[in-house]
Structure 1
Amino acid sequence: MIRTTARQRRRRGPDAGPDAGPDAERDAGSDAGPDPGPQRALIAASFVNRVGNGLFNTAAVLYFTLVVHLPAAQVGAGLTIAGLTGLAAGIPAGNLADRCGPRTVWLVTLALQAATMAAFTAVDGWLAFTLVATLDRLAATASGAAAGALVARVSGERPAAFRARLRTYVNLGVVVGTLGAAFAIQADTRAAYTALILGNAASFAVAGLVVLAGVPHCPPLPRPAGHRRWSVLADRPYLAFVGLYSAIGLQYQVVSLLLPIWLSAHTDAPRWTVAAVYAVNSGVCVLLQSRIGATVETTRQGGRAFRLAGGLFLVSCPVMALTADVPTWVAALLAVLAVCVHSVGEVWESSASYALGFGLAPDHAQGQYQGLLGIGFTAGQALAPVVLTGAVLALGHTGWLLLGVLFAGLGAAGPPVAAWAARTRHVPQDAQPPAPGRSPLPGTD
């Protein structure tokens, strides 16, 4: 069995030569560690969960406006209240995961999400909708913090490779769920929409059962003497990384929100182009995530991946703007080309976020660090519609160019922030981030 410690892995680094010893040879030939069962269970649970998310997210607004008959403005207001309130659960839930074990906390949050999702089918007014949505967001934020900590604990000897595979299946799950939701949208009946909601509720329950059966309990890791309950808020390099991650995360809604509006309002591209860009984005991410993500292991690699992603976004954004200046079929081809480039940038950005988000967090405090990371990302996504539609669309071509420059600048900040964080942790930039807490998992040491 492999008994290589995290400290030894950091000292040896990812490029260790033949003198690194037999442990290095075994590490090089194994992505999953001696017991891949918990990893497979976590991937399966995440896939099922995201199939449910795809079912619900695709048709949620239609259900609340067409079936429950809530005005769109009320739905938006309720979701905003729920989203902002839900942020409060991130760090406390992360701390709880660090103290009680992430598996336990995640199972509880999955059960809560199953209950709140099922409760949506009984909503008949705005107050009830807002209350249920708020409880759902609180549970979802807590779930994200606990799930992140659990991923850190079962990542094995090659954490980047595992997380890349995990994100591949997560993306695939969303695609499958979205395709399933298309049938309900076509049927356009209360029963069809209700089936989507209950399907999502069931996905939380099934995911919980998979984790319960396949992932062993992860006991809390020992805390150093200087640990503080809110230590993440005093970690300035990590706060800087969270800021970068949250801001560059605007890129996710470039494809899902900004480009579709631009194509519809400013170009002569065929309407099917909107669906095509979604498909291309999902396809590129599914195909390349494992291949690219497995190469981004270290702090230095994470910073460089951020910079590369920013450069690709600098290319893709102006090309998206050009779709308004060309004939119909050229516009469609340019849109697909731009999304291909943008999607490759998305894969590099997500890989960098995994490497730095997990690698810079202390083993014993992964929960609270992942909680803060989730808060930052959610806040950035909440601001994205205002920034993208209010600023970029208002400025037209100039707005697209400035958006690309913004992404490039954020990406360029990745290497210095990563280097700063590595210095404060006294970890060489080329050392692999540890596989947090692998040893306490039964059967892995």
Structure 2
Amino acid sequence: MIRRASTQRIPDGPESGAQRALIIACFVSRVGNGLFNTAAVLYFTLVVHLPAAQVGAGLTIAGLGGLAAGVPAGNLADRYGPRTIWLVTLALQAATMAAFVTIHSWLAFVLVATLDRLAATASGAAGGALVARAGGERPAAFRARLRTFVNLGVVVGTLGAAFAIEIGTRPAYTGLILANAASFACAGLIVFAGVPNYRPLPRPEEHRRWSVLGDRPYVSFVALHSAMGLQYQTVSLLLPIWLTAHTDAPRWTVAAVYAANSGVCVLLQSRLGSTVETPRQGGRAFRLAGFLFLVSCPLMALTADVPVWVAPALALLAVGVHSVGEVWESSAGVALGFGLAPDHAQGQYQGLLGIGFDAVQALAPVVLTGAVLGLGHAGWLLLGAFFAALGVAGPPLAAWAERTRPSQPGGEASARRRPGETALVE
């Protein structure tokens, strides 16, 4: 049974101080991400004067190349401590981001973008391991608050980028890029000052640098989680194209669905996410998310078949349902992703999880626009059924994975720890 989240505040102390520092650091860095990601393509095309096709190809090359850093960076975090490696990756991200203001050719763009994605992938693995170490006695509540502020940071950054885009000058775009670089540096300083330098945990003799690849239940979870990640670009990419090309809905509808998606996630992440603590609960949350997506996808398709004055309301209803599913899906992902990973190898496991997710996100535009838009209404129905099928696989996969965890008897996450040791779940 999913337990209700307690309303009692976490007492002050080293543990809560580290959590606050991580939340603030992640919020600051995501504000920078929102600033840059909103305007990046416009900067490369309008300021650097690269053709759109070259920008797309360069970003694809960088995205795929960046996948190589996930597991190696995670291994380094497990061996030398997650804070040390995360601070290094934040410094690298600050440097590569600042380097974007100096590029003048496609080759330079691809080089800098690839280095940036390598640093970002490494940062995801090391940062995930650090969040796991700071999880405390209520890790689900902590990670839910963290995701709330991560989502809020992106919203704030996106709104800030709108002003620079409206100005449209090179100094305005340069300011966005340098602000993002500064956000990584500020996040690093906050982590350095406020988060303990957790020592590496002892590793069993059978531990190997690529042990995660032999963990079949976890690899299966990575595949499930990555495939379900298509739902993010269903709202951010697929629905806006559908509304523009297949409906007569006012153009402000696209902005409204973005705002609705962000608002629902920010408002509900802590309330719902804090109830998903164990892998078993994560499996059930995956199933619920899949059914919600099964409802939302046909509703999105129906926006092309209703009067123009109904289409915006129907689109907002569909996105509202989808966003609730997104909250359950993201909460399930972190519950399983951290709860099934061995304490001593959180970095390695988070590295593989990031590789799978990023790979699918790189392929998502081709899959969604080619398959779904190509099939029209039938494509939307198939997409919803696909999400539902993935969701149904959640509970049995979680049960299978828990049976293979020697430290988690009885099918629930083990609460056994050495005295003074924090829970190693995000």
TM-score normalized by structure 2? 0.95
Q: Percent identity?
A: 78
Residues 1:438 and 1:302: Cα distance change in structure 2 (over 3 Å): farther
The equivalent residue for 1:416 is 396
Contact 1:47–1:173 (CA under 8 A) maintained in structure 2 = yes
Unaligned runs of at least 5 residues, structure 2: none
SS at 1:325 equivalent = coil
Contact 1:98–1:366 (CA under 8 A) maintained in structure 2 = yes
Determine whether 1:176 maps to 2:156: yes
Show the 5 A alignment for 1:140-159: 140-159=120-139
* Distance of 1:388 and 1:435 partners within structure 2: 44
CA offsets per residue over residues 304-336 of structure 1, 9 Å max, x none?
Answer: 000000000000000000000011110110000
Determine whether 1:323 maps to 2:303: yes
The equivalent residue for 2:325 is 345
* Distance of 2:172 and 2:79 partners within structure 1: 42
* Distance of 2:309 and 2:117 partners within structure 1: 42
Contact 1:32–1:155 (CA under 8 A) maintained in structure 2 = no
**In the alignment, which of 402, 412, 416 is matched to residue 431 of structure 1?**
412
Unaligned runs of at least 5 residues, structure 1: 1-12, 17-26
* Distance of 2:103 and 2:416 partners within structure 1: 43
**In the alignment, which of 193, 216, 224 is matched to residue 196 of structure 2?**
216
* Distance of 2:276 and 2:368 partners within structure 1: 29
Q: Displacement, 1:225?
A: 2.2
The equivalent residue for 1:20 is none
SS at 2:98 equivalent = helix
Residues 1:15 and 1:283: Cα distance change in structure 2 (over 3 Å): closer
Structure 2 counterpart of 1:198, which letter? Answer: L
Contact 2:2–2:275 (CA under 8 A) maintained in structure 1 = no
Contact 1:171–1:285 (CA under 8 A) maintained in structure 2 = yes
Q: Displacement, 1:433?
A: 5.7
Contact 1:32–1:157 (CA under 8 A) maintained in structure 2 = no
Contact 1:419–1:429 (CA under 8 A) maintained in structure 2 = no
SS at 1:296 equivalent = coil
Show the 5 A alignment for 1:20-59: 29=8, 31=10, 34=13, 35-59=15-39
Structure 2 counterpart of 1:216, which letter? Answer: P
The equivalent residue for 1:199 is 179
Determine whether 1:284 maps to 2:264: yes
Contact 1:14–1:432 (CA under 8 A) maintained in structure 2 = no
Residues 1:113 and 1:286: Cα distance change in structure 2 (over 3 Å): same
Show the 5 A alignment for 1:15-414: 29=8, 31=10, 34=13, 35-414=15-394
The equivalent residue for 1:5 is none
Contact 1:65–1:71 (CA under 8 A) maintained in structure 2 = yes
CA offsets per residue over residues 183-237 of structure 1, 9 Å max, x none?
Answer: 0000010010000000000000000000000001011001112212211000000
* Distance of 1:159 and 1:201 partners within structure 2: 30
SS at 2:234 equivalent = helix
SS at 2:165 equivalent = helix
Q: Displacement, 1:298?
A: 1.1
* Distance of 1:179 and 1:433 partners within structure 2: 42
Name segments (4+ residues, structure 1) moved above 4 Å: 13-16, 27-34, 433-438
The equivalent residue for 1:21 is none
Residues 1:240 and 1:414: Cα distance change in structure 2 (over 3 Å): same
Name the count of aligned residue pairs: 419
* Distance of 1:56 and 1:46 partners within structure 2: 15
* Distance of 2:307 and 2:394 partners within structure 1: 38
* Distance of 1:317 and 1:197 partners within structure 2: 35
Structure 2 counterpart of 1:431, which letter? Answer: E
SS at 2:310 equivalent = helix
Structure 1 counterpart of 2:224, which letter? Answer: L
* Distance of 2:416 and 2:102 partners within structure 1: 43
Structure 2 counterpart of 1:384, which letter? Answer: A
Contact 2:340–2:401 (CA under 8 A) maintained in structure 1 = yes
CA offsets per residue over residues 45-95 of structure 1, 9 Å max, x none?
Answer: 000000000000000000000000000111111111111110000000000
Contact 1:109–1:140 (CA under 8 A) maintained in structure 2 = yes
Contact 2:402–2:411 (CA under 8 A) maintained in structure 1 = no
Q: Displacement, 1:421?
A: 0.2
The equivalent residue for 1:23 is none
Contact 1:152–1:437 (CA under 8 A) maintained in structure 2 = no
* Distance of 2:140 and 2:97 partners within structure 1: 32
SS at 1:328 equivalent = coil
Q: Displacement, 1:383?
A: 1.0
Residues 1:45 and 1:294: Cα distance change in structure 2 (over 3 Å): same
Residues 1:434 and 1:151: Cα distance change in structure 2 (over 3 Å): farther
